[in-house]
Amino acid sequence: MNAVFEYHSLPRVVFGRGQVARVGEIAGRFGSSVLIIHAGTGAGSHEPVRIVERHLSEAGVRAVLLRQRGEPRVSDVERAVDAARRHGCDALVAVGGGSAVDCAKAAAGLLTNGGSPLDYMEVVGRGRKLAQPAAPWIAIPTTAGSGAEATRNAVIACPEKQFKASIRSEHLLARAAIVDPELGDDVPDAVRAASGLDALAQLIEAFVSRGASPLTDALALQGLRLAGRSLRPAVLAADHSARDEMALAALLSGMALANAGLGAVHGFAAPLGAKYPVPHGVACAALLPHVIAANISVARKSDHRLLAKFAEIGRALAGRADLAEPAALDACGEFTASLVKDLSIPALGSFGISAADVPELVELARKSSSMKYNPVDLSGECLAEILRKAL
């Protein structure tokens, strides 16, 4: 446990089916015009962005729509900032998965601080700090995965440098998150599976992170219990109660990771997503069982407190508080591996990644900010073996 820690959190969370109807009331406090950054793909009246637009209109708030296609790049953020300024928008609303949310989050920060995303991005940019609070923005996630609605970093791709990196600041926290599980009912099963496994990876990595604290442990452990019993039925049985629990698990994962940090799974996910057409959740899912196995293997040699935490994860996922430590450690790895199989997550090799690419990806991953929070030091050979197993 960290004896000294900080905790940053959203000022407001609105959770529950049907709660998206409150977006007009909430957005109206920030002005009369908003830019909606969304990931919508159609024009049906039941599409989440149309629902949000309707509720804003009923509250007298004008909406300007801007679609975010794929994970946000530097140019996407610049386009969003330009649109918000041209249309005189007082606030932003993100409707979609982590890509739409991160684009809106970064744009909100640049609207009040000026400059380019590269001025503030870690690793590939200048790493400047945001001096001013971001413009008001509201997060409305439609996938149960990234937890980006609760985080204080925006992940942006820089194609020229073949890397994804964060703009990170407490100033980037949303003014409110509206988590309405109903908005995700029509998400394709493949997206639901990958998103859910991303949330699971975040809960596990935050729980064992070097930056973990008693507050983040409590959030992550509750999220693990929810994901352990709900991820399969949410995907395989179209169970609405399970989908509600996964929406909450994803929210908890964002709240935990925003304060604890992540680990090697997300350390690898950044360069993988930047260099290859692999969705973020798929990358995390494919890597997760192998990173868990590597971390436990190293911890067996000297870190019994870390082993105890992995055992807690195993008990939470299995829903078995009575499991002794050896069985609980086995359950941790076996549960995640079986989820990856049962939810049909493709291997990384199916995205054109080969053994020849491993050395470069290991070097890029070691530069990621997430890697420094991994609970143990993993050698270059160990990291390479993790990636080879995920191919």
Please tell me the distance from the alpha carbon of residue 252 to that of residue 245, in angstroms, as a whole number: 10
Q: Which CATH class is domain 189-390?
A: mainly alpha
pLDDT of residue 43 exceeding 70 = no
The Cα–Cα gap between 109 and 232 comes to 37
The per-residue pLDDT for 41 is 65
Q: Mean pLDDT throughout 60-87? A: 95
Tokens of 20: 């998206």
- The candidate with the shortest Cα–Cα distance to 15, out of 182, 198, 239, is 182
Q: What is the mean pLDDT of residues 311-319?
A: 96
The string of pLDDT tens digits covering residues 323-334 is: 999 999 999 999
- What sign does the CA torsion over 70, 366, 145, 152 have? negative
Please provide the DSSP assignment of 199-249 as one string. HHHHHHHHHHSTT--HHHHHHHHHHHHHHHHHHHHHHHS--HHHHHHHHHH
Its pTM stands at 0.95
Q: What is the mean pLDDT of the chain?
A: 94
How many CA within 13 A on the CB side of residue 99? 20
Rounded to whole angstroms, the Cα distance separating 272 from 284 reads: 10
pLDDT greater than 90 at residue 199: yes
- How much is the average pLDDT of 240-267? 97
AA identity, residue 267: G
Contact between 205 and 266 under an 8 Å Cβ cutoff? The reply is yes
Question: Domain locations in the chain?
Answer: 13-184, 189-390
Instruction: Note the pLDDT of residue 349.
Output: 95
Classify domain 13-184 at the CATH class level: alpha beta
111 Cβ neighbours under 8 A, 6+ residues apart: 81, 84, 85, 92, 134, 135
What is the percent of the chain with per-residue pLDDT over 90, rounded to a whole number?
Answer: 89
